[in-house]
């Protein structure tokens, strides 16, 4: 390794003195000493491209793409192959050669054990006819429900790092102690982008690779603009994106392996927050039209996207709900297991005025409508007041269309509350606050997981803060 350190030191000096021919030779020597490391041919390709040596740049980028794929970094491999196509659109063989086998192997037992919920297997909710007159209770499904087991990486926010903004013509210098700034491959294998990049049949995956667009943003440039129609998703390749939520002091950060803009998985959704680059960012943009087309050709892809939506919704409910929020990571991971998928046919009553409701509902797809004509769409949570007080609902809510939703049955929550004293204590505190609440709805819980607010010493402080601010909001991209 001492030889590599000396070569890196000489490389920095050559670049500072603009001795680019010498720098190219040193990149080649570094590549020879670390033949499995993709950053040397990648950076050599960058330098060759800036020097106008396109043919040699393509050769270097081709080696980098292959080595990224060999290490399991499929998105990086695709991004480098897209750079080759920018130089010469005829070199499609580099993109076609990206093989996800290493990424699939890294997923290993995760892939074999993790069962994705299938839309076709989700049961319809049926009201129990013999329930008490003052209660609206749904029959338990005879099918075995699929629990949502969230990892701590899905429940904890990404920490920001200091970034250095470079001009387009700057050549990156190497710190002698520098290591590749990449998410570890084993962790990347469990992140949201991997099912889209590694678990699709070859024809579908190749169409996704071919149709994805490489997007590069400088610091503070927007990937997503609030209020615009959600027309696609971004697969983060390099760098960090920050979700800027109005009224929130700190942005939510999403890094390599994350998906930005998951709201585009649904129809007719507007972006609800700005998403900007936190330093230089590279991402692969997949248009909604392409996603819809691929789901039609390969329906299990829809199950992958459904799983992603469910996880994001659950993580946000656990962060924002007065009932489920405010707990530490391990407790929230246990709470996540309470959720199950359900479907409600158009016209189904989910909450009925004057009757106790059957738990917490989070809309994934479709619309709910109240007796007063108010509508709830993807991301809204309903029924949390009943989990707290077990008092009758004040408004009737019905499925206006067929609805796909997440559900926490009241009976299941009660059992868990009894097993977790902090949950029971939280319920007792909230029960004294909720009699002032006029509604049973928590709006817009779509988007990435925000950071935890600081704890309040007095529970009444939380109640007064909630009343002043209105329903808590979380980011949606």
Domains of the chain plus CATH, in order, are 2-102 (1.25.40.10), 192-311 (2.60.120.10), 314-469 (2.60.120.10)
Between 439 and 15, the higher pLDDT residue: 15
Between 143 and 344, the higher pLDDT residue: 344
Q: Please compute the mean of the pLDDT values over residues 56-71 and round it to a whole number.
A: 96
3-class secondary structure per residue, 37-105: CCHHHHHHHHHHHHCCCHHHHHHHHHHHHHHHHHHCCHHHHHHHHHHHHHHCCCCCHHHHCCCCHHHHH
CA gyration radius, the chain: 25
pLDDT of residue 299 exceeding 90, the answer is: no
Q: For residue 110, what is the enclosing H or E element?
A: helix 101-113
Residue 449 has a pLDDT of: 33
- Please, which residues bridge with residue 405 across strands? 342, 363
Number of H helices, E strands in the chain: 18, 15
Residue 79 has a pLDDT of: 95
Q: Beta-strand (E) ranges in 269-352?
A: 274-287, 340-344, 349-351
Between 81 and 314, the higher pLDDT residue: 81
Q: Beta-strand (E) ranges in 153-212?
A: none
pLDDT of residue 204 exceeding 60, the answer is: yes
Residue 26 has a pLDDT of: 94
Residue 148 has a pLDDT of: 66
Token code pair at residue 418: 């009894």
Token code pair at residue 351: 């909450």
Q: Please compute the mean of the pLDDT values over residues 344-356 and round it to a whole number.
A: 88
Between 329 and 239, the higher pLDDT residue: 239
Q: Please compute the mean of the pLDDT values over residues 220-230 and round it to a whole number.
A: 90
- Candidates 38, 330, 3; CA nearest to 180 is 38
Of the pLDDT bands very low, low, confident and very high (cuts 50, 70, 90), residue 173 is very low
- Candidates 468, 448, 464, 472; CA nearest to 154 is 448
Token code pair at residue 159: 């920490």
For residue 241, CA distances in Å to 74, 317, 398 come to 19, 22, 37
**Letter string b/e over residues 68-80, b meaning 16 or more CB atoms within 10 A of that residue's CB:** bbebbbbbbbbbb
DSSP 370: E
């Amino acid at each position: 390794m001492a030889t590599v350190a000396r070569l890196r030191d000489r490389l920095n000096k050559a670049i500072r003195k603009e001795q680019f021919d010498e720098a190219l030779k040193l990149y080649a020597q570094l590549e020879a000493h670390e033949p499995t490391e993709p950053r040397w041919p990648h950076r050599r390709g960058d330098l060759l491209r800036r020097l106008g040596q396109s043919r040699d740049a393509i050769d270097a980028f081709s080696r980098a793409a292959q080595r990224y794929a060999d290490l399991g970094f499929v998105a990086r491999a695709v991004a480098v192959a897209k750079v080759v196509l920018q130089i010469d659109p005829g070199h499609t063989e580099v993109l076609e050669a990206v093989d996800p086998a290493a990424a699939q192997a890294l997923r290993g037992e995760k892939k074999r054990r993790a069962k994705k919920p299938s839309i076709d297997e989700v049961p319809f909710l049926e009201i129990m006819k013999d329930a008490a007159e003052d209660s609206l209770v749904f029959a338990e499904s005879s099918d075995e429900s699929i629990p949502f087991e969230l990892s701590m990486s899905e429940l904890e926010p990404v920490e920001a790092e200091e970034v250095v903004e470079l001009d387009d013509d700057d050549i990156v210098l190497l710190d002698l102690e520098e290591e590749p700034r990449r998410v570890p491959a084993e962790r990347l294998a469990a992140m949201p982008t991997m099912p889209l990049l590694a678990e699709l049949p070859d024809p579908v995956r190749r169409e996704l690779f071919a149709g994805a667009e490489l997007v590069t943003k400088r610091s503070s440039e927007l990937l997503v603009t609030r209020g615009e129609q959600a027309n696609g998703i971004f697969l983060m390749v390099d760098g960090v994106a920050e979700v800027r939520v109005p009224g929130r002091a700190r942005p939510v950060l999403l890094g390599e392996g994350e998906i930005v803009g998951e709201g585009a998985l649904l129809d007719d959704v507007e972006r609800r927050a700005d998403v900007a680059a936190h330093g230089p960012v590279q991402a692969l943009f997949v248009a909604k039209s392409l996603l819809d087309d691929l789901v039609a050709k390969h329906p299990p892809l829809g199950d992958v996207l459904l799983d992603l939506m469910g996880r994001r919704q659950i993580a946000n409910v656990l962060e924002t709900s007065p009932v489920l929020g405010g707990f530490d990571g391990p407790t929230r991971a246990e709470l996540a297991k309470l959720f199950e998928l359900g479907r409600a046919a158009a016209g189904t009553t989910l909450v009925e005025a004057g009757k106790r409701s059957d738990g917490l509902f989070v809309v994934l797809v479709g619309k709910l409508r109240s007796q007063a004509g108010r509508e709830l769409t993807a991301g809204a949570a309903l029924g949390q007041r009943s989990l707290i007080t077990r008092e009758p609902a004040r408004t009737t809510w019905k499925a206006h269309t067929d609805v796909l939703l997440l559900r926490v049955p009241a009976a299941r929550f009660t059992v868990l509350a009894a097993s977790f004293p902090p949950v029971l204590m939280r319920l007792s505190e909230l029960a004294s606050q909720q009699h002032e609440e006029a509604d049973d709805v928590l709006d817009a819980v779509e988007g990435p997981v925000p950071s935890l607010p600081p704890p309040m010493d007095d529970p009444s402080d939380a109640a007064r803060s909630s009343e002043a601010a209105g329903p808590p909001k979380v980011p949606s991209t």
